[in-house]
Amino acid sequence: MSLRSDFLVLGSGIAGLRAALRLAEHGSVLLVTKRAIGTSNTAQAQGGITAAIGEDDSPALHASDTEHAGAGLCDEAAVAVLVNEAPKDVSELLAWGARFDRDASGRPSLAREAAHTVRRVLHASDATGREIVRTLTERCSSVSSLTSLPDHLATDLLLEDGCCVGVRVLAPDGTAGEIRARATLLATGGAGQVYRETTNPEVATGDGIAMAYRAGGRVADMEFVQFHPTALAVPGAPRILMSEALRGEGARLVNAAGEPFMTRYDPAGDLAPRDIVARGIVREQERTGAAVALSLAHLAPDVVRARFPTLTRACAGVGLDLACDPIPVGPAAHYLMGGVETDLWGRTSIPGLFAAGEVACTGVHGANRLASNSLLEGLVFGARAAEAMRDPDRAAASADFRASDRLTRDEPSRVPHHQDPVLETGEVRDLMWRAAGLFREAGPLAAAVDRLDAAFAAFQQAAGQGEVRTPEAWRHGNLVTAGRLIARAALRRRESRGGHYRTDFPSRDDLHWKFHAAEELAS
Ligand code: SIN
């Protein structure tokens, strides 16, 4: 198979769909996804999408909350773009038919989530992402210059003279092919599957990060992983996200004695930033020797069921009543703040290659993302990347790509003789959860890096010899690549900040560590 299009978009979450719609005004677009169109983290997003549209709100306040959650590492210019473009971009989504909840006066109703000082989260009950995907895919289906190619896995970037000219793909029947384009967008989402415990769908395997990195692209801030505090913790059941919007509407975290405990760990209590709540839960479990739960029993059951119908059904599926029962919860990997480094127009360090959404690192989230800013980032920066992709002058300006504060060059390693490089996918996920999870420390991190270095070298060697042929083998290699980048970055950063917590360096250290760190593979 050999295809050509003006523009190539990989991934169909909010960033990919929004970019594809914008690009389709300027040429042919091929939208490639490894599963059905719309299968993504976006489709599972519950809480909502932020925009400073309330009477008590402003972009400046939205920026200040974003930066506070980001623990001193947000890129101010990126935050300014995000919060200033939010009201216009979200209005466009509403104009395209997104059915968000309304208040009695007909205006979008605004929810509260952790670390927001005011209500600013637009939502479609507790299934906002599904509604956004519906709105955008319906719109895409009526655009004749946009073609979709589901069930095709992009495996490698095609490079010519150092520029990205497309990708290699694997078709469902296992045959390899090529797609060429003037400009390529990575909108492939995050990498939550790197961890044994995650709220992410099985498609979130860091494909775009791995592809860009292996092609010599720069990735940044990989140590910053957000662990959502409240994933359902029922043995044998999936780690379903119990949205932060539940706490925004008054749900309390309680210990086994039924006591609210979060103020023991932070004055903001249940609505402290996510990293603090996640660690608070683990510390309370250690203190009491028992599990913790979300309790909504003090709220009106009808109101709970009406506001959270999807979660009500999900809990019923495991024999729990969301409105009345204590719902067992615990942290799980949720979001990657780091990724393929981009400027404010989605340009990466590889000319012709762009990135938007969770795969990208714009620096907007710093060390810890503010709740419900992720859909907004995909919407705003998906459109901006499309603008840059269609404009040859802007696209060519990739050469001016800003340098990260600190750059590590990763020399290609060899498969070490002293160590068995074989690491099964389940072992990678387990290793990452234990060594590079919520609590990190030099010894276990260094041991994990050794094992992941060996597994990465083995994967690189096999890929170079054309021996990686199945989607499962690529999945494994991408998880190893993304996991190794996270573990290496976590080992390097000897402080604690946002989602990155080192038990051996428990304090934030602005003097030595207030910078973004990037890594690229030496050719
Ligand atoms: C949630 O609903 O708690 C998740 C929203 C987000 O990840 O921002």
274 catalytic residue (yes or no): yes
163 Cα: distance to centroid of ligand 1 (angstroms): 36
- Which of 41, 65, 126, 243 to mutate for ligand 1's pocket (most ligand atoms within 8 Å of CB)? 243
Bridge partners (DSSP) of residue 166 are 158, 180
403 Cα: distance to centroid of ligand 1 (angstroms): 31
46 Cα: distance to centroid of ligand 1 (angstroms): 6
CB 198 less than 6 A from any atom of ligand 1: no
- Which of 122, 230, 244, 364 to mutate for ligand 1's pocket (most ligand atoms within 8 Å of CB)? 244
- The DSSP secondary-structure symbol of 37 reads T
Amino acid 252: pLDDT: 98
Looking at the CA of residue 244, tell me the nearest atom of ligand 1.
3
- Cβ-based burial of 450 (10 A; exposed 0-12, middle 13-18, buried ≥19): middle
Q: In tens digits, what is the pLDDT along the chain, a chain of 523 residues?
A: 899 999 999 999 999 999 999 999 999 999 999 999 888 899 999 989 999 999 999 999 999 999 999 999 999 999 999 999 999 999 999 999 999 999 999 999 999 998 999 999 999 999 999 999 999 999 999 999 999 999 999 999 999 999 999 999 999 999 999 999 999 999 999 999 999 999 999 999 999 999 999 999 999 999 999 999 999 999 999 999 999 999 999 999 999 999 999 999 999 999 998 999 999 999 999 999 999 999 999 999 999 999 999 999 999 999 999 999 999 999 999 999 999 999 999 999 999 999 999 999 999 999 999 999 999 999 999 999 999 999 877 655 554 555 566 888 877 666 555 556 679 999 999 999 999 999 999 999 999 999 999 999 999 999 999 999 999 999 999 999 999 999 999 999 999 999 999 999 999 999 999 999 999 998 7
Residue labelled with tokens 């990657």: 336
Structural tokens at position 378: 């995909």
Residue nearest to atom 1 of ligand 1 (CA): 243
pTM across the whole model: 0.96
CB 245 less than 6 A from any atom of ligand 1: yes
CB 371 less than 6 A from any atom of ligand 1: yes
Domains of the chain: 229-331 (3.90.700.10), 410-521 (1.20.58.100)
Residue labelled with tokens 């299934």: 127
Amino acid 522: pLDDT: 86
Looking at the CA of residue 369, tell me the nearest atom of ligand 1.
8
Amino acid 182: pLDDT: 96
Amino acid 321: pLDDT: 98
241 Cα: distance to centroid of ligand 1 (angstroms): 8
Amino acid 421: pLDDT: 61
- Which of 14, 112, 228, 379 to mutate for ligand 1's pocket (most ligand atoms within 8 Å of CB)? 228
Amino acid at 301: P
Residues 367 and 68 sit within 8 Å (Cβ to Cβ)? no
Bridge partners (DSSP) of residue 502 are 440, 505
Amino acid 418: pLDDT: 56
- Residue of 174, 52, 104 whose CA lies nearest to 469: 174
State how far the Cα of 341 lies from the Cα of 349, in Å rounded to an integer.
7
Structural tokens at position 69: 């959650």
Structural tokens at position 471: 């989607």
Q: Of the residues 130, 274, 369, 497, which is catalytic?
A: 274
Contacting residues for 501 by C-beta, under 8 A, at least 6 apart? 275, 279, 438, 439, 440
CB 46 less than 6 A from any atom of ligand 1: yes
What are the b/e assignments for 194-221, b being 16+ CB within 10 Å? Answer: bbbbbbbbebbbbbbbbbbbbbebbbbb
Contacting residues for 31 by C-beta, under 8 A, at least 6 apart? 9, 12, 16, 17, 20, 37, 140, 146, 147, 148, 149
